[in-house]
Structure 1
Amino acid sequence: MEIIIKPAALEELKKANLEDGEGIRIEAVFIGSCSIYAEYSLKIDKKNEDDDLFEGEGVPVLVSKESQKHLYKRITLDFNPGLGFKLSSDEEVYRYNLKLQRV
């Protein structure tokens, strides 16, 4: 998986002041209903057993193997002060208005 962090997102992520062993978790959780839907979130978290550790512009990014099933191989994280973080791929926009939360 390739993770691209745009300059505006990188500046915002630097404000998070990650501690040793922490990374930015991109999470995609399948929501079972009458349609196929996943809920996306950004969290500051520590690496779990089933996580893969990626690096985007020097930022450690954690994505579980389960979350990777709901994401394309190349994803982009951007930031706009009015819209929050935007998670997307070349194929689709996953979600606007993501907020970075500490677990």
Structure 2
Amino acid sequence: METISMAPVTFTATAVEELKRLSTEQPEGKYLRVGAKGGGCSGLSYVLEFDEKKENDELFEIDGIACIMEKSHGMYLYGMQIDWDNGLNNRGFTFSNPNASKTCGCGTSFAV
């Protein structure tokens, strides 16, 4: 399994805490997939889900969380910070992507 030395994204402490909680509910052999896919009102949507490693994935670890990302997604996501918001009006992961030229109002779709 290929491991990259530097993680292309970062997680805040609150995101790490929530991801570790979620990882305890996953079956053995699942990794946290960080990525992008076509869709959403701005053209691309963020992917943050537990999945099996595929041939074109790179493996990296952040604070004990084993993560995977398709190699081609790095150019869209490098330097992105993922946070967990547990507020009264908003609960979920938020994405701060320095590569995004445009984002939608919901914060889960972006363009580069």
TM-fit CA distance, 1:68: 2.3
TM-fit CA distance, 1:19: 3.9
Give the match for residue 83 of structure 2. 78
TM-fit CA distance, 1:69: 3.6
* SS state at 1:15 partner: helix
Decide which structure has greater helix share. 2
Q: Which of 1 and 2 has greater Rg? A: 2
Which residue of the other structure, out of 30, 43, 59, is the alignment partner of 1:37?
43
- Following the alignment from structure 2 to structure 1, what is the Cα–Cα distance between the partners of residues 81 and 92? 14
- Following the alignment from structure 1 to structure 2, what is the Cα–Cα distance between the partners of residues 67 and 52? 10
TM-score w.r.t. length of structure 1 = 0.72
Distance 1:10 1:19, change over 3 A: same
Instruction: State the Cα deviation string for residues 45-86 of structure 1 (Å, max 9, x = none).
Output: 111110011111111111112322422x21211000223101
Give the match for residue 66 of structure 1. 72
Structure 1: which 5+ residue stretches go unaligned?
A: 98-103
Q: Which amino acid aligns with 1:5?
A: F
- Following the alignment from structure 1 to structure 2, what is the Cα–Cα distance between the partners of residues 36 and 84? 19
Structure 2: which 5+ residue stretches go unaligned?
A: 1-6
* SS state at 2:73 partner: helix
Q: Which amino acid aligns with 1:52?
A: E
Decide which structure has greater strand share. 1
Q: Percent identity?
A: 26
TM-score w.r.t. length of structure 2 = 0.67
* SS state at 1:70 partner: helix
